[in-house]
Amino acid sequence: MNAQLDRQISTLESKLNREERELKEDESDLQHRKLEELGTHAENVFSLFGGRRSSRRISSSLSKRRLTENAKADVEESVGTISEYKRQLDELKLKRDDAAREINERWGNLVNEITETKINPKKTDIYISIFGVAWMPFYIVKAGNELIELAAFKPNS
């Protein structure tokens, strides 16, 4: 469960980072569009005072305004997406923490539960895989009233 949530968090963090980069690009684009629009408006004003009127300049000004509005919409969309990703990320982290807490509580309680079970072995449950007989020869010597046990050979040292 935690591994799946960690993968989802990692994926969401990647999306968030990508969206934040896109936001920076959108903000930069918006600033450039505003400057272009301002320049076009200034050009139109100067051309009016210069005695020239051109419908082409007004059309260009309107196009610049439309592009600026589109850039502003892109910025707003990125800001909204980032806030949504952050909300989802917080939700997933809470879920992961809750799951970890639940697992720790459940297994922590099970570890403390001790039950003793008596198992009586049966002869049929015993299996012999190796069997052998060892013999260690000894001499019993009677010395007076005392019995002494002597090894039949000297052990290797």
Instruction: Check whether 5 has a pLDDT greater than 90.
Output: no
pTM above 0.85, yes or no: no
Q: Which of 35, 38, 40 is nearest to 61 (CA)?
A: 40
Q: Is 90 exceeded by the pLDDT of residue 106? A: no
Average predicted confidence (pLDDT) for the chain: 84
Domain extent listing, the chain: 2-112
Are 72 and 26 a contacting pair, CB within 8 Å? no
Identify the burial level of 74 via C-beta atoms within 10 angstroms of its C-beta, where 0-12 means exposed, 13-18 middle and 19 or more buried.
middle
Q: Is the pLDDT of residue 39 over 90?
A: no
Q: Which residue has the higher pLDDT, 41 or 135?
A: 135
Q: What is the Cα–Cα distance from 37 to 63, expressed in whole angstroms?
A: 9
| Under 8 Å between Cβ of 126 and 42 | no
Cα–Cα distances in Å, from 16 out to 23, 71, 85?
A: 10, 20, 6
Which pLDDT score, from 0 to 100, does residue 146 have? 92
pLDDT band at 154 (very low <50, low <70, confident <90, very high): confident
Q: Is the pLDDT of residue 147 over 90?
A: yes
pLDDT at 84: 92
- Distance between CA atoms of residues 51 and 43, nearest Å: 12
**pLDDT (tens digit, 9 = 90+) per residue, 46-71?**
777 766 655 566 677 778 778 888 88
pLDDT at 64: 78
